[in-house]
Structure 1
Amino acid sequence: MATPNSTLRAVRLGLLMSQDEFARAVRDAGTRAGQPNDANKRLVQRWESGKTGAPRPVYARALETVTGLPIESLGFACSVPLARVAGDGHGGYDMEPTTPTIPAGPKSEAQPGRRNHSGVWLSRYEYFSSGRDAAFVGQHYVVILQHGNRLTARSLPGSSDSPLTMDLEIDGHVATGTWTEQTATDGYYRGARYHGAIQLLVEPTGRRMTGKWVGFGKEFDVNTGPWQLTFQDASTNKATLAAYNKRPDA
């Protein structure tokens, strides 16, 4: 008897998506990456029921993009082979072994000039609250996954009561994209959802990204402030994510 994948189901529900919506998001992610797939509600049901123990790599990459989590953390019972998926020109895909782009294992240092930014980062931004007439800092540990020139960042749930997501496109040393934060329901902003744009400069060492955010405020104004991402760990295995699933100031 197959073991249900309760982890994947919990992640989908956390994204407030139905199975149809989740399948559509997986298809859209594949299309954007130039690796189209045929995800549908039935396939999502097979994943969540455990009848399909592991997704094909073309789906695994899209799942990572949609959820912002490494495939190893999505509850699949069987390991997903690491492969580069290349279109064969006839709607099919060839599987070519490749070197993993997301290192696993013990903590490793970022190397100067590294081109892949996947791993755990500390996100820190500053903002001014006109209602409280004071400046504040928001901090999260986020998991960044890179597919080509696209970066997806998702905060670890234990790092803050306000989940944060970022979707970026990197061009040389410049990362540009959007951010979204769902504030805590029992906090000052009472569960309000804020979003805006962000641009970061990536240091040549690959250990830090610094820049500015822009977004609307509670008083119907447009605000801006500094934002910084600091590299912590290149590993995205379960043990590493568990170690960083805490508040940064703890």
Structure 2
Amino acid sequence: MATPNSTLRAVRISMMLSQDDFAAALREASDRAGYELEPSKRLIQRWESGAIAVPSPRYARALEAVTGMPIDSLGFQSPAMARVTDDGAGGHDVHPSPEGVAAPSPSPTPQTSPRDNYSGVWLSKYEYFSSGRQSEFVGMHYVVLLQHGNRLTVRSLPEASSNPNSPLTMDLTVDAGVVTGTWVEQTATDGYYRGARYHGAVQMLIEPTGRRMAGKWVGFGKDFDMNTGPWELRLEDSSTSQKIIGKYSRRPE
């Protein structure tokens, strides 16, 4: 059974693009690059459902151009876990192999949690100390969170960070009332950190209501020293509709 690509779906939703819009953006990107692709809504659906595990090289380049992210950050499988089949577009897409390669182990069944599903729009808030400015700061993002099994995929919404042009991503797992995973923030090129990319780990506890997660992050600082601080997620809306995504695609107050 194919594993849905919730990461790609979260990225698309965070860009406020329908599947038709996303296909059109890929087509425009390929035209600009000087090669012809014919992506469709159906192709996007097959990527997001996991029916196609790895895009062809040309589609990979178009995906990177449209999302601004490397292909290995978009939730696709490694080619070693797939077989090549003709996609009818001058390249190949890769599908999970039913034989020859051992199937990946299924995700463990989550234990009882306060809520069955945490998908929705959340406000992410973390605190950090700037050694260069000798002061405490707060970073906030409105993020879209999508859940598949015990996996949580988190992507910040457009224009929705307290520090402009500093997108945030988180890849988490939930086990009972505990959330554990990693985070990445790409700072703005014209900001204080001049486009530096920071990443680390995070662990949070889920409150009984299921509407707040709170814990600690750990990561390296500007001088490669290890830092930590509080991090929380607060549920704003359990919907991920275009209307709600548009509502929260703004700088947090």
Normalized against structure 1, the TM-score is what? Answer: 0.63
1:6 aligns to 2:6 (yes or no): no
| Corresponding residue number in structure 2 for 1:144 | 145
Shift of 1:237: 1.2
Corresponding residue to 2:166 among 159, 162, 172 = 162
Corresponding residue to 1:27 among 73, 77, 86 = 77
Deviations 1:57-86 (A, max 9, x none): xx9xxxxxxxxxxxxxxxxxxxxxxxxxxx
Secondary structure of 1:240's counterpart equals helix
Read off the aligned partner of 2:201 and give its amino acid letter: A
Structure 2 unaligned blocks of 5 or more: 1-19, 30-61, 102-112
Shift of 1:134: 0.4
| Corresponding residue number in structure 1 for 2:175 | 171
Alpha-carbon distance in structure 2 between the residues aligned to 1:244 and 1:28: 33
| Corresponding residue number in structure 2 for 1:16 | 69
1:204 aligns to 2:208 (yes or no): yes
Query: Structure 1 stretch 232-241 or stretch 184-193: which is displaced more?
Result: 232-241
Read off the aligned partner of 2:229 and give its amino acid letter: G
Q: 1:212 to 1:39 in 2, by over 3 A?
A: farther
Q: 1:45 to 1:202 in 2, by over 3 A?
A: farther
1:124 aligns to 2:125 (yes or no): yes
Q: Sequence identity of aligned pairs in percent?
A: 55
Shift of 1:246: 0.3
Q: 1:142 to 1:4 in 2, by over 3 A?
A: closer
Alpha-carbon distance in structure 1 between the residues aligned to 2:160 and 2:84: 31
Alpha-carbon distance in structure 1 between the residues aligned to 2:218 and 2:130: 14
Read off the aligned partner of 2:140 and give its amino acid letter: Q
Read off the aligned partner of 1:17 and give its amino acid letter: P
Please provide the CA RMSD for this pair: 3.6
Secondary structure of 1:239's counterpart equals helix
Alpha-carbon distance in structure 2 between the residues aligned to 1:39 and 1:240: 38
Shift of 1:223: 0.2
Contact 1:122 / 1:229 at 8 angstroms: preserved in 2?
Answer: yes
Normalized against structure 2, the TM-score is what? Answer: 0.62
Alpha-carbon distance in structure 1 between the residues aligned to 2:208 and 2:173: 17
Read off the aligned partner of 1:6 and give its amino acid letter: A
Contact 1:213 / 1:227 at 8 angstroms: preserved in 2?
Answer: yes
Alpha-carbon distance in structure 2 between the residues aligned to 1:177 and 1:148: 15
Secondary structure of 1:159's counterpart equals strand
Contact 2:114 / 2:177 at 8 angstroms: preserved in 1?
Answer: no
Read off the aligned partner of 2:234 and give its amino acid letter: T
Shift of 1:216: 0.1
Contact 2:168 / 2:183 at 8 angstroms: preserved in 1?
Answer: yes
Q: 1:208 to 1:220 in 2, by over 3 A?
A: same
Structure 1 unaligned blocks of 5 or more: 47-58, 60-87, 92-111
Secondary structure of 2:232's counterpart equals strand
Would you say how many aligned residue pairs link Structure 1 and Structure 2?
183
Alpha-carbon distance in structure 1 between the residues aligned to 2:206 and 2:90: 40
Read off the aligned partner of 1:138 and give its amino acid letter: G
